[in-house]
Amino acid sequence: MTKMRAALVGLTVAGLLGLPAAALGSAPATVVDQAAAVHKTSIRWMAFGHMHAAGTPMTIIGQVASRAHGTRGALAGVQVKLYRQLGASRTWVYLGSATTGSGLIPRFQFVTLSRMNANYKVAFAGDDSFGPSSDVTWLEVYRLFNGHIYDGRSVATYKGNVTPYYTHKPITLERRSCASCPYVDYKSGLTGTNGAFSFALPAPAHGRWWWRVTVPGNPGFIRSYGGTLTTERV
C-alpha cells in the first residue's frame, strides 16, 4: 500500500503572522511520514476585518500551525471546515470546507456574508501525523441607514431607512454644537415600515451644528451610527 504523506511547510514567525512572502527567507518544505508520532496543531488566525456592514462579504483567513522535528510551520493541502453561530444562538451551523494552499504561506480562506453578529469556528479533523484542532473567531455587524439629506428654506430634512429588519424600532437623532463637543440626544422616535425614518435638521443662527442618527445594539447587531451631517445658515 502506498503511504500518504502530509507536508509541513516551515515558516518564520513573520510568515505565520501573514506577512507577504517577499518578506520571508526561503524555507524548504519538511515532509513528515504519517507513520511518525502525531503532532499537535492549532488554528492560527491571520489578519482580517472583524467588523462589517450588514450584507457585505467577510473573509476569514488562517492557517493550521504545527511543529514537527524542530520545524515550526503550517500544514499544506489539508481540509478545514467552517461553522457559524449567529447572535445569541448556541447552535453551530456548518457552512463549508476549504483546503490550505501549498505556497510559502499555506492558508485557508472562506468568504461569507455578514448576516449579523456571529462566532465562526474553523476545525481541522487531524490525520495520522497531525492531531485535530479548532478555534473560534468573531464578527460584529452594524446596520445601514441608507440616508439622504434634503435642503430646505428653514430646516434640512434627513430621510432614510435602517436595514436589515428594523421596522417600528427605536432610533435617536443626536446633535453636537462644535467639532470637539460630545453628541447629545436631540430627538427620539420609532422607525416606520422597512425601517423608514425622517428628521428635521435646523441650523443655528451662527456657526454650524453636527448631526447623526443611531440605533441601539442587540445580540444580532452592534450599536450603529449613520454618517455625520452638518447644518448652517447661508
What is the residue-level pLDDT of the chain in tens, covering all 234 positions? Answer: 333 344 556 543 333 333 332 222 223 334 444 445 689 999 999 999 999 999 999 999 999 999 988 889 999 999 999 999 999 899 999 999 999 998 889 999 999 999 999 999 999 999 999 999 999 999 999 999 999 999 887 899 999 999 999 999 999 999 999 999 999 999 999 999 999 999 999 999 999 999 999 999 999 999 999 999 999 988
Longest dimension (CA), the chain: 87
Pairing of strands 170-176, 133-142: unpaired
Distance of alpha carbon 116 from alpha carbon 112, whole angstroms: 11
Express each pLDDT in 44-75 by its tens digit.
Answer: 999 999 999 999 999 999 999 999 888 899 99
H/E stretch holding 113:
strand 108-113
Kindly list the distances between the CA atom of residue 119 and the CA atoms of 74, 84, 87, 92, 167, in Å, as whole numbers in the listed order: 23, 6, 8, 9, 26
Where do the domains of the chain lie, and which CATH numbers do they carry?
A: 5-142 (2.60.40.730), 148-231 (2.60.40)
pLDDT for residue 233 = 86
SS3 assignment, position 15: helix
Express each pLDDT in 123-147 by its tens digit.
Answer: 999 999 999 999 999 999 999 999 9
Looking at residue 3, the DSSP 8-state letter turns out to be P
9, 77 Cβ separation under 8 angstroms: no
